[in-house]
Amino acid sequence: MRTTLEIDDGVLKQARRLALERGETLTRFIEEAIRRQLSVPSGLPPYRLILLTKKGKARPDIDWDDRDSIYEHMHGRS
């Protein structure tokens, strides 16, 4: 389908340059950019990572600078 759009000159220049670098036509480049934008879920709140922290003291029998020592205690090999 043909359509006419008004696109900022700088944006269009960047799109043409990237399309050329990728060996694509400008049309294909713009179609893919629109497809990617349309595939992003809308209306969802941004993801928020909540860290779980625990109070307590570090075990003195574990060498916290030694990964193998930590793994041994995690897997009950001590």
> With contact defined as beta carbons under 8 Å apart, do 26 and 19 qualify?
yes
**pLDDT value at residue 4:** 92
For the segment 9-16, the average pLDDT, to the nearest whole number, is 96
Judge contact between 16 and 26, C-beta under 8 A. Answer: yes
What global pTM score does this model have? Answer: 0.51
More confident residue, 13 or 78: 13
pLDDT digits (tens, 9 = 90+) for 17-61: 999 999 999 999 999 999 998 887 777 777 888 988 888 888 888
pLDDT at 58: 82
Which is more confident, 76 or 63? 63
How many whole angstroms separate alpha carbon 37 and alpha carbon 42?
Answer: 10
User: What are 2's two structure tokens?
Assistant: 């043909």
